[in-house]
């Protein structure tokens, strides 16, 4: 059994991988020199990259027994890739830290996380102190997202992404979640257990480009909301009730105007309300559709990912 696995999902990360490997194996080294951990492993999960990511991982695994990798058969997405790594860790280690490949998170925080875990925490969240290096747009949309989540009753840790440590106990609890729509930031706080936070400053990407373009970001946010809040559905019901009330007023008004014999001038308001109501119905249907889509995905019970190849993950290396 390993003491610690550092899980790193990678999608086309050939540019950063050498530096990431250098820094993260450095951290493992530091931890074992200090005697905090006995054995550690750096586990890359190649999320169906189309560049040389997997060749690099195999190379590192061959020359360094602390490095291993899983290669997913296709691009399953960041959350699924992370899950694949965590699932491996749940079976092989006492704790796992997840971190992005791009070195935007402070790797030295891992040392603090391990310390907090040694002090009894089951989940240690890495929390960004500020977002100076993010673009104005990303900073503000992210803030809006956290507020919206909170307003909808979602349990998310403010300014925490997927940089966290989980103990074996917490990992195994997480693995009991059957859903296919993964939004780990919302699922992990729902586990409970003893938690701690480690604060750090977020940096620029070491190299390469963000693998989260705007479209993916928006769909991730939508997934996050609809994955664990059904309140939007309730708001639709409320909106519907409001419209019924408005239409009662409109009917009374219409009858009164009709009795006065001036029906033609009502055309404008009628036209406007037809559009307004049409739009609201479409929106409501759309929101319901989001949830129906989720149910569809869940009932299919499809596997989350397939592992195509492994490197440096054998038991005898532990």
Return the residue matching tokens 């694949």.
Answer: 84
CB of 139 to ligand UDP, least distance (A): 12
Residue 105 interacting partner from Mg ion, ligand UDP, none (CB closer than 5 to 8 Å by kind)? none
Residue 212 interacting partner from Mg ion, ligand UDP, none (CB closer than 5 to 8 Å by kind)? ligand UDP
Give the one residue of 104, 159, 226, 313 binding Mg ion; rule: CB under 5 A. Answer: 104
Per CB under 5 A, the segment of 59-67, 103-111, 161-169, 195-203 that binds Mg ion is 103-111
Q: Report the residue number, 143 or 210, with the smaller CB distance to Mg ion.
A: 210
Summarize the chain as % helix, strand, coil (round to 5). Answer: 55, 15, 30
Q: Which residues bind ligand UDP (CB under 6 A)?
A: 9-11, 13, 47, 75, 77-78, 81, 100-102, 104, 210-212
CB of 255 to ligand UDP, least distance (A): 56
CB of 77 to ligand UDP, least distance (A): 5
Residue 202 interacting partner from Mg ion, ligand UDP, none (CB closer than 5 to 8 Å by kind)? none
When asked if residue 109 is in the footprint of Mg ion (CB under 5 A), the reply is: no
180: Cβ contacts below 8 Å, ≥ 6 apart: 297, 298, 300, 301, 302, 304
Scored b (16 or more CB within 10 A) or e, 142-154 reads beebbeebeebeb
- Give burial (CB, 10 Å; 0-12/13-18/19+) of 9: buried
CB of 18 to ligand UDP, least distance (A): 15
Residue 126 interacting partner from Mg ion, ligand UDP, none (CB closer than 5 to 8 Å by kind)? none
Q: How many CB atoms lie within 10 A of CB 312?
A: 21
Residue 143 interacting partner from Mg ion, ligand UDP, none (CB closer than 5 to 8 Å by kind)? none
When asked if residue 15 is in the footprint of Mg ion (CB under 5 A), the reply is: no
Q: Report the residue number, 69 or 77, with the smaller CB distance to ligand UDP.
A: 77
Do 45 and 10 touch, CB atoms closer than 8 A? yes
The values of phi and psi at residue 90, to 5°, are -60, -30
* Secondary structure E strands in 181-285: 195-200
Q: Which two tokens stand for residue 49?
A: 């990259």
The rounded distance, in Å, linking the Cα atoms of 69 and 60 is: 9
Q: Report the residue number, 100 or 223, with the smaller CB distance to Mg ion.
A: 100
Return the residue matching tokens 């058969």.
Answer: 73
When asked if residue 105 is in the footprint of Mg ion (CB under 5 A), the reply is: no
Q: Which two tokens stand for residue 266?
A: 């009502």
Residue 41 interacting partner from Mg ion, ligand UDP, none (CB closer than 5 to 8 Å by kind)? none
Sites of contact with Mg ion (CB under 5 A): 100, 102, 104
């Amino acid at each position: 059994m390993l003491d610690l696995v550092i899980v790193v999902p990678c999608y086309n990360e050939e540019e950063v991988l050498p530096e990431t490997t250098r820094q993260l194996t450095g951290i493992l080294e530091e931890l074992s020199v200090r005697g905090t951990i006995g054995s550690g492993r750096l586990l890359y999960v190649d999320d169906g990259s189309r560049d040389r990511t997997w060749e690099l991982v195999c190379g590192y695994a061959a020359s360094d027994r602390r490095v291993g990798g899983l290669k997913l058969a296709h691009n399953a997405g960041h959350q699924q890739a992370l899950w694949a790594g965590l699932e491996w860790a749940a079976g092989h280690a006492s704790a796992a830290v997840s971190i992005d490949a791009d070195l935007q998170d402070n790797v030295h925080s891992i040392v603090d996380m391990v310390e907090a875990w040694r002090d009894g925490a089951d989940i240690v969240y890495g929390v960004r102190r500020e977002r100076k290096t993010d673009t104005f747009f990303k900073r503000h949309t992210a803030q809006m997202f956290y507020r919206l989540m909170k307003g909808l009753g979602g349990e998310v840790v403010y300014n925490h992404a997927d940089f966290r440590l989980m103990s074996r106990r917490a990992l195994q609890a997480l693995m009991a979640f059957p859903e296919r729509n993964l939004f780990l930031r919302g699922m992990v706080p729902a586990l409970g257990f003893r938690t701690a936070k480690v604060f750090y400053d977020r940096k620029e990407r070491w190299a390469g480009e963000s693998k989260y373009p705007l479209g993916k970001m928006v769909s991730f946010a939508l997934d996050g909301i609809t994955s664990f809040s059904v309140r939007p559905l309730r708001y639709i019901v409320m909106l519907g009730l409001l419209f019924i009330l408005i239409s009662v007023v409109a009917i009374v008004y219409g009858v009164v105007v009709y009795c006065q014999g001036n029906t033609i001038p009502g055309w404008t308001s009628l036209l406007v309300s037809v559009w307004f109501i049409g739009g609201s119905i479409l929106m409501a249907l759309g929101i319901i559709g989001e949830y129906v889509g989720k149910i569809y995905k869940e009932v299919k019970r499809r596997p989350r990912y397939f592992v195509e190849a492994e490197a440096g993950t054998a038991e005898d290396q532990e």
